[in-house]
Structure formats: C-alpha cells, structure tokens
Structure 1
Amino acid sequence: MASADDVQRLFLQALVSRRVVTKSLARILLKKCVEAVKAAKEDLDIRIPDNDDSVNTFVINLNASLDKLDLEIVPFVDGLTGNQVYVLANRKGDEVAQVASDYSPAELAYFKVLAEMIITAPNSSYCLSSMAALRETQSLKATFTKTHGERVLDTFVARGWLYKSKSGRYSLTTRSTVELQTYITNTFPNDILHCTVCHEMVFRGIRCYTRNCEGVLHNHCYAAYKRARQTCPVCDTPWNGDSEGKLKKVGEGAFVEGQDKHARARRRVDDEDEDEDETPKQEEAPSRLRHRRRGRGKLRPKGR
C-alpha cells in the first residue's frame, strides 16, 4: 500500500544512483516522486514542492531519517560550475565503511596516493596529470599494473571521486570534497586554502596578487563579489581594470608543466621517511614531526 513515506524512498533511490544533483534537478526528481506515489494512491494528500524552500524542508526531514545510517544529504556549491547542489555523503569513517567498499586495499591505497598528490600539488594547482597518475602505480608495493591503474582511474571518475579535465588532469570533485572534508582538513591543514567569502575549501578559484595576502575566493564567489566591490576583501588592493589580470589562479589554471616531476621527487622523500623508525627523535624539528604525520588519516572511497 502506497504512503507518503514512499516519496522519501523514491527520492533517496534516485539520489543514490547519482550521488550529486543540482538543486533544480532535485526539485524535478521530487516532483516526479510525488506524482508516482499519488498515481499509486490518488487520495493521498501530498503537496508537490513548488519552490526551493519546500525542497529544503523535505531534505531536512529526510536527513533526520538518514542519520542512523550515517548518511547525509549536504547542500553545497559545485566548485567547477558554481551550481548549488545536493550531495549524498557517507559520514561513516570506521573499518566497517572500508569493508563496505568494493575497492581492493591496493586500489584504496592508490586513491589515497592520488588524493595526496592532488592536495599537495605545487602552485595551489590542486591537480595531477594523467601521466603522473599512472606513474604512481609503480610506487605501490602490491601488484598493480598500468592497465589496472587505467581501469581504476576510469572508475574513480565514473563514480564521481575524481574529475578529469579536457587537458587530461585529475582533480577532486564535489563528492570527494564533501565526503572527505574531515580527512582533508585534518591531514593537510597547511595545504588547504579557504575562501575569504564563504570560508569553504578552495580547489578552483583566484587569489590576490599582493605578496603575503591571504585573499582567496572561489570562482563563483568572486563572480558575485566583484559586482559589489573591485578591491581585495583582505588587503583592499584594486581588483579592477588591468589589476584584475594580475590575479593568481587556484586550481588547474595554476598548473605548470613539469611540476609533477617535483611532486614525484617529494614523494620519494616521503616514502623514505615512512620507512624510518616511527618514534620521533627529541632533537627533530617540529616541521619534521608534522611531515611524518601527514598521510596517516583515513581516506576510503566507497563504492556505489
């Protein structure tokens, strides 16, 4: 027998298959779910959502039901398109969640390596070339061929964990940013930039050209900000006319050819440090101790 609760079930099924939907698509999906349930039982008194507020209210109520499953529908702004989206995020971070993944331990280790290289990429470029990504298959101690790496990379992209640009460079997606936010902020605090306007992590955007200024904005935040002001929100340096062209890029626009070679050399140093005695020596500098802790957080992309 159909009931009003079936609307939540149908909407959740639609979201599970997509993981990330724009708010406009969410409204369409919710309308279709209501219509499907009412078609099964015409006398049900269910209001079809007709604005963003009604969709938001529906999502809030659905989240209350999802809490026990460690799932959450998170409203977010896509860093690539600037669109408002809903992300179905898995908030479970223990060993049970890892077992639930259909990636092997070697594949999970590969994803962790790629994510680390993306987050710590030079010049705040937050991306990794295809060649560098495939080259990292050789650094894994488990048997992991280049062909296997190509196949796994394709699944990371297909499932929304990585984005591959037209230039063939990989970067983090909205899904990976939302689901792995705690891991990223805890493990790489010195490599992450935060938007001066919305205070969320920035992997694509602009930054002030003034030396030592910490003014950083998402592309979409900057587009809205410059309609009201044409100066840096931190140091008041002019951001109009010829000055606007001086703004530094954050993300793939900051990528410099050959930077992946330096990343590879840095990873070799990191690997050597990991093989050393885990007990830090008293005379080691604090920066070295922080360096040793890097990369030991939990990062586990789940399956579908």
Structure 2
Amino acid sequence: MVSASDVDRLFLQAVLSRGVMSSKLAQLLWEKSIEAVNSSNDDLKLKYSNDKQSWDAFVAKINRSLDKLQLEFRALHDELTGKEMYAIVNRKDDEIAQMATDYTPAEITFFKAVVEQIILAPHEAYSVSSIAALRELTAAKITITKAQAEVVLASFVAKGWLLKSKRGRYSLSTRALLELIPYLKSSYPDDIIECTICMDILTRGIACFTPNCTVRMHLHCFNTFRKRNNGCPSCGNDWPRDVRDKKLVPVGEEAAKEGDDRRRHVRLAEGEGSDEEEEEEPLTQDSPPKKAARGKGKQRAAEREDSMDAEDDDESQSTQPTQSTQRTRRSTRR
C-alpha cells in the first residue's frame, strides 16, 4: 500500500534519472512526488511547502536515507550563473572511483591526470589545452592510444564531467565539482581556492588586482557584493563597477597565457622536494614575480615557493647542472 515514505522513493528515482539539476527543478520533483502519492492513497493528506526550512528538512531526510549507501544529495552553486545545483554524489574517500561504472581503469587514470593538470594550471587558469591533456598519456604512462584518448575526452564532455570552451580548453564542470570536492580538498589542499563571499570552491571568477591580496570571487558573487561595497573586502582598494573591467584579474580560462601548457606541472608533495617532475622549459631569473599562494595552505605554499625561487637564482649562476635544476614547482599567478 502506498505510504508517506514512497515520496522519498519517487523523488530519488526522479533525481537519479536526471543527474545534475537546479534547486527549482529538484523542489518541483518533490512537489510532484507528493501529488503522486496523495493521488494513490485518498487517506494521505501530505502537503508541499516551498519555504526554505521545509526544503532543508526534506533534503536532510533524504540524506539520512542515502547515508548507509555512502551517497549524498549535495548542493553547489553554478560558478557562472550562481544557481544552486543538486546531484546525488558519492561520499567515498576517492570520488574518482564512482566513474568506474562508465569507464575502464585506464580511462579513469587519464581523467584523474587531466584533473590534476586543471587544478595545477599556472596563473589560476584552472583549465588545460587539448594538447596538454593528451600529453598525459605519456607522462602518466596510460595504456590507451591518442585516438582513444580523444574519444574519451569527448565522452567526458558529453557526460558532463568536463567543459570544453571555444578555445579548446578543458575545465571542471559543475557535476565534476559536486562529485570531486572532498577529493580535491584532500589531494590539493594548497592548490584550490575558495570564493571570499560564498566559500565554495572557485575555478572561474575574478581576483583582486592588488599584489598579494588573496581575495577571489565568483562573477555572480562579485556582482552582488559590488552593489553595496566600493572596494576589496581585504585590502580596501577601490574596485571598478563592471566585472569586465580589465583592472580586475581573471581566474579561470581567461587567465591562461601562451606557453603555459609547454610543461607539465606536478603537485609538490609534503616532504618530497626531490621527486618533482622535470620541466621542459625551466623558469629563469627573468620570470616575473609571483603573487601569494592561494588555498588552505597559503603560508606554507608561499614559503615553499620563496625557497625554491632562491634555489633557482643560485642554480642559474652555475654552468654545471645539478639535481635541483630538474625540479618543477606548482606555478601560481605571476
């Protein structure tokens, strides 16, 4: 016999068939699930309420049901539109593993390698070219051909794991961010950044133009903040009204510069300074100064980079290559 608990079941079935959806659509599915259950049992008088408190309580109830399956009905704001998006995601330690139903182990390794290059992109570009993505086949010793990799990349885009711009650069989609937030935060604590306003992960937006200022915002957060504030919430410098003003520094694909993809960037693991990847084009003394590191380990990362810069200066004066000249570091905004 139909009961009130069937609302949850109908709702979850509807969500699973749709993947990522807006908060508006998710609440509409909840309303339709209640109507369907009421129509099947005249004794039930379940009521739908569109206020935030009722919705949050329903989401909490859904997540209690999903908890034993290590799943979660999770929300995240779309970085471009600011809309609240929902999806059922995996809560296991390695969120990459949830892709195993669609992809082979080699393809998952390839995806993981591409994600790393996106996160480690210099100048906070958080994107990678198709050429650099395909280079991961050799760098990570992945046993698929270039032709197969091109097909897989297209599949990642078609299934909503990656976004591909008109420039041919790949970046993380809302779906990928929803699924991978725990993985990214645990694997790249010093390399991801968060919006100063909403505190969500940020891969597209703007940065304060003041050197060493750590303020970063999504475009929609900037537009909201700028209506009531005249300047940076950290350094206090006056900001332009229009987010398109060139005075503001871009975060995301627009920050990518020519030559960024010529070398492969590898995260510097804690205590593994001698195990870094070789650079194809090492940085020199003529490289422009870097801004302060972003993310959770700002101070630690900054100290690490300063130390490496000092080493590079010493090495550039020597005519004999040493082991340290083969090091590469995570490039930050210059």
Deviation at 1:260, TM superposition (A): 1.2
| Aligned match of 1:279 | none
Point out the more displaced range, 81-90 or 108-117. 81-90
Deviation track 1:139-191 (CA, whole Å, cap 9, x = no partner) reads 34343112211222233223332122233221112222232222212222222
- Give the structure, 1 or 2, with the largest relative contact order (CA under 8 Å, sep 6 or more): 1
Aligned partner of 2:91 in structure 1 is 91
Q: Which position in structure 2 is the counterpart of 1:220?
A: 220
Task: Please give the alpha-carbon distance, in whole angstroms, between the structure 2 residues aligned to 1:100 and 1:91.
Answer: 15
1:202–1:217: 8 Å Cα contact kept in structure 2? yes
Specify the code of the residue in structure 2 equivalent to 1:214.
Answer: T
Aligned to 2:253: 252
Amino acid at match of 2:58: F
* Unpaired runs of at least 5, structure 2: 279-302, 309-326
Contact 2:76 2:200 in 1 (8 A): no
Deviation, 1:229, is 0.4
Asked if residue 150 in structure 1 is aligned to residue 150 in structure 2, the reply is yes
- Aligned with 1:47: secondary structure? coil
Which residue is equivalent to 2:288?
A: none
Offset of residue 200 of structure 1: 2.4
Whether the 8 Å CA contact 1:27–1:49 is kept in 2: the answer is no
Larger Rg: 2
User: Deviating runs (4+, > 6 A) in structure 1?
Assistant: 285-288
Give me the whole-angstrom Cα distance separating, in 2, the residues matched to 1:35 and 1:218: 37
Counting only pairs closer than 5 Å after superposition, residues 100-249 of structure 1 correspond to structure 2 as 101-240=101-240, 244-249=245-250
Task: Return the TM-score normalized by structure 2.
Answer: 0.74
Structure 1 gap segments, 5+ residues each: 277-284, 295-304
Segment drifting more, 45-54 vs 164-173: 45-54
Structure-2 separation of matches of 1:210 and 1:61: 45
Q: What's the C-alpha RMSD, in Å, of the aligned pairs?
A: 3.2
2:48 is the alignment partner of 1:48: yes
Q: Which amino acid aligns with 2:125?
A: S
| Native 8 Å contact 2:137 2:146 kept in 1 | yes
What CA distance in whole angstroms lies between the structure 2 residues aligned with 1:187 and 1:50? 38
* 1:27 paired to 2:27: yes
Q: State the number of aligned residues.
A: 280
Q: CA deviation at 1:99?
A: 9.2
Assess if the C-alpha contact under 8 Å between 1:30 and 1:49 holds in 2. Answer: no
Larger mean CA deviation between 41-50 and 64-73 belongs to 41-50
Q: Distance in 2 between matches of 1:232 and 1:224?
A: 13
